[in-house]
Structure 1
Amino acid sequence: MEKWLKDLLKKKEEARSALKEKGKNSDSVEEVRSIGNQIEDLDSEINEIRSKLEELQGSNGSDQREDQEQDEFEERSTPEGQLNPLGTYGMAQAEKEEKRSNEDLVKKYETRGAQLKEKRSVSFDIDEMPEFRTVSLGSSDLVVEKKYSNTLNPTFNEVSSLIDKVNAIPLNGGESYEKGFEISSGEGDYTTEQGDYAEAEPQTGYVTMSKAKITAYAEMTDESTKLPNVNYQALVRTNIGKALRKKATKQIITGAGGANALTGIFNAPTNVMPTDGDIEISAIDADTLDKIVFGFGGDEDVEGGAYLVLNKQDLAAFASVKSTDGKKIYKIKKNGNEGTISSDGSFEVPFIINSACPALSASATDADTFCMAYGMVQAYEMPIFSPVEVEESRDYKFRSGQIAYRGSVWAGGNVAMYKGFTRIKKVATP
């Protein structure tokens, strides 16, 4: 009986821990409250099981009863505010703090949703945004139930995960950001007994990242305001966040640089990305992956951990390359927007799809066009200079019942490692 109770207690405690973790990651007020109720039920069951265990253990002898009484005395004597991990009094205090934390979170979302409905500007911290974190509304009722369904079917993914791989740096309130990098280290040399020592100073450089304003504008039916405040602000956050991320992840590749623009990998300055590191390819064939891998990095190492950023059409072109006996040369393992390309006896290279990359395999892509980038994605740095500001207006399309809202964020970006990427350029077929 005692063993069975201990096993049951363990299961209940594990279930409680899982619910706590789920509650931390939820942005739905209904789900948070439901989880809180489930935790309260589990706490009652856990306390009841512990009481039964104490009764069983107490019936085993007077010594055990004395020990139990001593433990209970120490538990009751725990100073206020100090948690006793072995007693239910400490657990009750922790539960109160957890409940208070959940209530604060709900209050924060309620307030923000109300402010949006009052046409007031609100701020979302960067770590709140859909991966600038993905937000789920659960089964909330944005779409009023018609006949069979009360949910919105999502579209296909439109945001490359490249933005989640680069080195994002929070610099709230900053205007610009400079990053130094090493070009090469010095090299020693022979010297006569009375001669001067050989100069071996390292060569360095730096890049500057100025802030650029990325904005998004959207309209939504006024039926959405019937959502609870928590879900309403989460919906606005999701839509604006996706739009901003969609633009930013493309600019990491093709950003023109200069005033009010990120500098993309394809347009990185020559002091950090000299043109002699570019690779020219006319078509994707059996040797393409080897050319890219061996063309990246310094003279002493074959670098690992680099990603190939490319268009989906070019990934398909890799998959279609066959040997003379008709067998596929490249193996493609994918996981949504990412995966690996490999071939027998060669390398397994991680890839990321980004639609901003022109397709080298497409006939419409002109020669001398950069089409792919291969390198250390952390070599691209993206300072974030502000939280995401969101405002709402109901004036523009009042007659048609549309709510307009806009969001903005100040960010920068540039390659910040010498030859941190190899760019693959399409050339005309010989």
Structure 2
Amino acid sequence: MNIKKLLDEIEAKKNARAALVKKSEASQDVNELRSLQGQIKDLSADIEFMQGLVDEERAAEAQRTAENAQAQAPAPAQAAEPDTRTQAVNEHAEHEAQEPEHRSFKPGEGFKAVAEGRQNRTPDQNRTPEQMEQRGKALKEGRSITVATGSIVLPHRDAANINDTFQQVSSLLDAVDYMELQGGESFKQPYAKDSPDGNYTEEGGEIADTDAAFGYAEITKSKITGYSEITDEVEKLPAANYAAFVEDSVTKSTRKKLAKEIMLGDGTAGHLTGIFSTKCDAIPADSDITVSAIDNTTLDEIVFSYGGDESVESQAALILSKEDLKAFASVRSADGKPFYNIVNRGGFGTINSVPFFINSACKAVANSKTASGAYCMAYGDVKNYKLVAFSPLDVQKSTDFKFKEDMISYKSRIYAGGNVVAYKGFVRVKKGTVASTGTGK
């Protein structure tokens, strides 16, 4: 095995991997990033495997060097007085010379002594004079004496871990208002809509009515589940813990669905009521705004459209797709510099100090295929959405359901509900055909 050739290939693959890493850092296309990450992972696996071969070959070479050095070492000097083993050998030799026709040994006597004497000889003592002469010539000429042994078929190695994929659950799920109501069926959250202005009243006239307006958000129980199966061999045989990964996956699937339903739940029986739902009574349709393209005024348009007429609200966040976040990052000022300062922390971050959450349920304003009038973004205090858990998230494993097929089943289950619980708790952004601020608040 040529170590130098392997090292050259390892170096070439490291250079290729470094180039891909640099390219991925500059890329903003999700499909390209996934492709680059896959190539980087493959190169890393190749480098690790080839480095293992180099290490094995170096260890084998070190062992061969040690054996050669031992073979070339001079025979140890004989003691002045022969020990009992040497004496036994001599006695046996004399006995053979006197009685060559009788070559038998008693247990524990001469045969054992002869064997031990041979084991204590150096390799050179066991060679014939002709072999010693040939070895001397080989050493003098500098030829290779031993040949490395290797496998005809390259060994197959399995990693002990499973590399996870990219983040699949929107960070929004862990940011909304959460409440546990174990064993409940429904929950109602009242909210204030308006306090009318007072008015002048003439003497003796009726006092102006200023009844406050209220509403309530109803949250009903919905059942969300996940299910997966694996074979008994997958659980017990591989080095990697596939069973634990599958168990975690069914939990992740439930959370993934909940995160999307916060935006898209249609509010029908057995479903969450999402921010984009027409059944979300807390958000009147006339408070929606439309945006046809993302430019240097888009963020201000959204921020100042949220809230009441007497203040600009703080502690609000923008919920959008990754594609629209990319569009914000692409906006440039007159001098060619990025107009929006985006701080990314994975599934969330800030745009010009305005918090944002990525949610793949949102369509993109920047996508030409998004239909006019489709909901794309929402802006508001994320605590204005309440998620109620009527039961804990329960993950169960069963070896009985498909006992004959030797299959293991995993399922996750939760009873939950959700709705917007504040009047005009979010301003929703629709895809428009022209830039517009909508019909009002």
Shift of 1:233: 9.4
CA distances 1:236-292 after superposition (whole Å, capped 9, x unpaired): 653332111000000000011111100110005363110111010101011000000
1:164, 1:285 → 2: CA distance?
A: 30
The corresponding residue for 2:195 is 185
Given candidates 347, 351, 371, the residue that maps to 1:337 is 347
The corresponding residue for 2:82 is none
Given candidates 386, 390, 410, the residue that maps to 2:391 is 386
Shift of 1:361: 0.6
Given candidates 368, 374, 378, the residue that maps to 1:369 is 374
Contact in 1 for aligned 2:251/2:395 (Cα 8 Å) = no
Are 1:196 and 2:206 counterparts? yes
Counterpart residue identity of residue 412, structure 1: G
Q: Pairwise mapping of residues 19-418 of structure 1 onto structure 2 (< 5 A)?
A: 147=157, 149-223=159-233, 225-226=235-236, 238-269=248-279, 271-342=281-352, 348-394=353-399, 401-418=406-423
- Report the RMSD for the aligned CA atoms in angstroms: 2.4
2:201, 2:395 → 1: CA distance?
A: 65
2:224, 2:307 → 1: CA distance?
A: 32
Shift of 1:207: 1.8
Ranges in structure 2 where 5+ consecutive residues have no aligned partner: 1-155, 436-441
Are 1:426 and 2:431 counterparts? yes
Shift of 1:398: 5.9
1:191, 1:232 → 2: CA distance?
A: 76
Contact in 2 for aligned 1:183/1:202 (Cα 8 Å) = yes
TM-score normalized with structure 2 length = 0.59
CA distances 1:390-409 after superposition (whole Å, capped 9, x unpaired): 33344666677542211211
Shift of 1:352: 0.3
Contact in 2 for aligned 1:369/1:426 (Cα 8 Å) = yes
TM-score normalized with structure 1 length = 0.60
CA distances 1:185-239 after superposition (whole Å, capped 9, x unpaired): 2322222233232222211011211111101011234246559xxx999766533
Contact in 2 for aligned 1:268/1:415 (Cα 8 Å) = no
1:218, 1:328 → 2: CA distance?
A: 45
Contact in 1 for aligned 2:273/2:280 (Cα 8 Å) = no
Contact in 1 for aligned 2:267/2:279 (Cα 8 Å) = no
**In the superposition, relative to structure 1, how do residues 236 and 174 fare at CA in structure 2: closer, same or farther (>3 Å)?**
farther
Shift of 1:312: 0.3
Ranges in structure 1 where 5+ consecutive residues have no aligned partner: 1-145, 343-347
**In the superposition, relative to structure 1, how do residues 284 and 215 fare at CA in structure 2: closer, same or farther (>3 Å)?**
same
2:402, 2:338 → 1: CA distance?
A: 55
Q: Which runs of 4+ in 1 moved over 4 A?
A: 223-227, 231-237, 395-401
Counterpart residue identity of residue 362, structure 1: N
- SS at the partner of 1:318? helix
Aligned residue pair count:
278
1:149, 1:308 → 2: CA distance?
A: 41
CA distances 1:308-335 after superposition (whole Å, capped 9, x unpaired): 0000000000000112332211111011
1:308, 1:413 → 2: CA distance?
A: 19
Contact in 1 for aligned 2:234/2:243 (Cα 8 Å) = no
How much identity, in percent, do the aligned residues show?
A: 48
Counterpart residue identity of residue 159, structure 1: V
Shift of 1:377: 0.6
**Which entry has the higher C-alpha Rg, 1 or 2?**
2
1:148, 1:216 → 2: CA distance?
A: 29
Contact in 1 for aligned 2:375/2:430 (Cα 8 Å) = yes
Contact in 1 for aligned 2:235/2:243 (Cα 8 Å) = no
Greater shift after overlay, 301-310 or 317-326? Answer: 317-326
Contact in 2 for aligned 1:268/1:414 (Cα 8 Å) = no
CA distances 1:363-401 after superposition (whole Å, capped 9, x unpaired): 111111000010111111111111223333446666775
